[in-house]
Structure 1
Amino acid sequence: MRLLKLVPDNTNIDFMKWRNLALILSIIVTAAAIALVFTRGLNWGVDFEGGQSVRITFQQPPNLDQLRDRVNALGHGDASLQEFGSPNVIAIRMPLPEGGEAAAAQAASQVRETITQAYPGARFDAVETVSGKVSEEFWSSGRWAIILAMLGIAIFIWIRFEWQFGVGALVTLFHDVWMTLGFLSVTRIQFDLNVIAAILTIVGYSLNDTVVIYDRIRENLRKYRKMGIVPLLNLSLNETLSRTMVTSLSILLALGMLLLFGPDVIFGLTIAIFVGIFVGTYSSIYISSPVLVWLGVTSDSFRPKDPVSRAARGPRNETDGAQV
């Protein structure tokens, strides 16, 4: 029985033909994502904003305006409501009441009592309370984790290969992270510690795919010293395309099943990784490799310089060391 191959052995796709168009598209979309994050912002979860969050599953999708009015009538500040993966599951977020844990527990109890009376059969899935100080520490730690991970990866690539490869890896990671953040800003999916874990996972996966491609590029730079850099990049991408497709598709299939049948509590984590893997596959082809061309890498950029032999230099005068 013949083995199934997603990518035929004789595949020869001219990826680099579209590198400039891909560059323009990536710059536009990345700039739009950055603008969205800074103007519209992210839907901060309780982990980073502080406050109290209650997640409830209703028998039928409730009227959000009526539900908001009932919660606001309790006098604990303006409540924010959001569907949590399903119209029947609603996350209610309220400001943290003054008085510490006792006041927070009392507020949650009042919300539970009010909703139970108004919506028989409603199930309370989770109640989370985070103080402002703790949420600030969470955000600071999460932000630095992402920044240091990206810088550490760029330095590793620089040491493992050359500085051009390190710059390419950093640009790729920057692209992938901001594209994912832009998606979260548009969809208003809650940004919490699960999403931080998702972004770090995206950074790791993007690095893995980029290193495989970079390693093949470096190998081909040694093997085909007279080949132009653009044909050499196309050759390297086609040689690693099968591995890239199999890995990406298998991960996307698993994540797709989690999106369809997984628990709501990891929905944000799953959808962020799904988008990041999709974007990372694109960037490993159309960002990390073309960057080498834009940085002036050629087929002989890293060729070791052959030392000039003594015979070629000619004999030296023992008196002054000059060549004869």
Structure 2
Amino acid sequence: MRLLRIVPDGTKIRFVRFRRFSYPLSALFSIATVILFLSVGLNYGIDFKGGTLIELQAKSGKADIAAVRQAAHGFGEGEVEVQEFGSAGELSLRVPLQPGGEAAQSEVVRNARAALEGQYEFRRVETVGPRVSGELVQTGTIGIVLSIIAVLAYLWFRFEAQLAVASIIGTLHDIVLTIGFFLITQIEFNMTSIAAILTIVGYSLNETVVVFDRTRELLRRYKTLPVEELLDLSINSTLSRTAMTATTTALSLLALVWFGGQAIQGFAQVMLFGVLVCTYSAMFISSPILIYIGVRFREGEAVAKAGEKPARVAP
């Protein structure tokens, strides 16, 4: 039985030469991320800002947004955000954190029920106080920082110095672009978003290790092969595996985006973007960095067989 191959055997694509386009593109995206972070900021959810989230379903099947917005003015202090989501008749209300502690937050929920319970079914009510939201910000930040440090330490001990530096740069690149996706789309940034970022870090690490393992193997085998050709050879030799992994993961995430429902849709969208970025990064960002770093094999590790000539990448 013939096996399915997404990428034909013997593919000889010159990936490294595309660094002239990939590096400026990633640099522009990274600069835009910093500018948006300082000017616009992330769309922090209730987890981090504190406040009350209420999700409603119209009993008649059709929601009157204008009437809900008018009624929401009496829920508490500050502007109440009212949005449609999901299927017809579903609304979400976000009430800012109220002065007065937990009693004030509970008063918001009571006011909402008194005003809307006749026409709407309360599907979800979530209240986060200032103390809890502050603790979540702190623990979430510590979790991200510690996990990134652990990953970077693993990369440093996993590879030789040049490969480790390139892996670290590639992983940080993927994190920055993922934050940029949050800033551009204004998807709510909450505890689920932290889980998505950590998962993307792991996926990025996996993609980079696969390519760099082959790069290290080729460095030991081919002593005189030009670096650009060697990097193209390593990427092409792992391309089938990379394409299969990215395709199956993306298909699973697309199913979650389309059919997973509102609760998981944001996570799935971020993960789908992360898979694309990590795949792009492993081929067009991390590997070409080795050219500028000056990757070389360590003395005594070259084990090229006498008379053996590697397959060169077609120009």
Task: Give the TM-score normalised by structure 1.
Answer: 0.86
- Correspondence list, 1:1-324, <5 A: 1-58=1-58, 62=63, 64-85=65-86, 88-117=89-118, 120=119, 122-297=120-295, 300-304=296-300
Counterpart of 1:54, as a letter, is I
Please report the RMSD computed on the Cα atoms of aligned residues, expressed in angstroms.
Answer: 2.0
Counterpart of 1:116, as a letter, is E
SS of residue paired to 1:303? coil
Counterpart of 1:26, as a letter, is S
- How far apart in 2 are the matches of 1:61 and 1:234? 57
Deviations 1:239-279 (A, max 9, x none): 11111111111011011011111121112211111111111
Gaps of 5+ in 1: 307-324
Change (3 A) 1:283 1:65: farther
Gaps of 5+ in 2: 303-315
SS of residue paired to 2:9? coil
Is contact 1:85–1:267 with CA below 8 Å preserved after alignment? no
Deviations 1:165-209 (A, max 9, x none): 222222212221221221112222111000100000000011011
SS of residue paired to 1:35? helix
Deviation at 1:68, TM superposition (A): 2.5
Structure number with the bigger relative contact order (C-alpha 8 A, sep ≥ 6) is: 2
SS of residue paired to 2:125? strand
Deviation at 1:64, TM superposition (A): 4.3
Is contact 1:7–1:242 with CA below 8 Å preserved after alignment? yes
Deviation at 1:65, TM superposition (A): 4.8
Is contact 2:16–2:228 with CA below 8 Å preserved after alignment? yes
SS of residue paired to 1:67? helix
Change (3 A) 1:235 1:83: farther
- How far apart in 1 are the matches of 2:41 and 2:61? 31
SS of residue paired to 1:13? coil
Is contact 2:102–2:129 with CA below 8 Å preserved after alignment? no
Is contact 2:215–2:230 with CA below 8 Å preserved after alignment? yes
Deviations 1:47-66 (A, max 9, x none): 01111111223355645454
Is contact 2:56–2:122 with CA below 8 Å preserved after alignment? yes
Deviations 1:98-157 (A, max 9, x none): 44434322321221231234xx2x332211111112212211221222222222212211
- How far apart in 1 are the matches of 2:239 and 2:175? 23
- How far apart in 1 are the matches of 2:301 and 2:201? 35
Deviation at 1:16, TM superposition (A): 0.7
- How far apart in 2 are the matches of 1:296 and 1:86? 55
Looking at CA atoms only, which structure, 1 or 2, has the larger radius of gyration?
1
Change (3 A) 1:171 1:104: same
Is contact 1:172–1:288 with CA below 8 Å preserved after alignment? yes
- How far apart in 2 are the matches of 1:87 and 1:183? 27
Counterpart of 2:190, as a letter, is D
- How far apart in 2 are the matches of 1:245 and 1:83? 37
Task: Give the TM-score normalised by structure 2.
Answer: 0.89
Count of residue pairs brought into register by the alignment: 301
Deviation at 1:88, TM superposition (A): 4.1
Is contact 1:222–1:303 with CA below 8 Å preserved after alignment? no
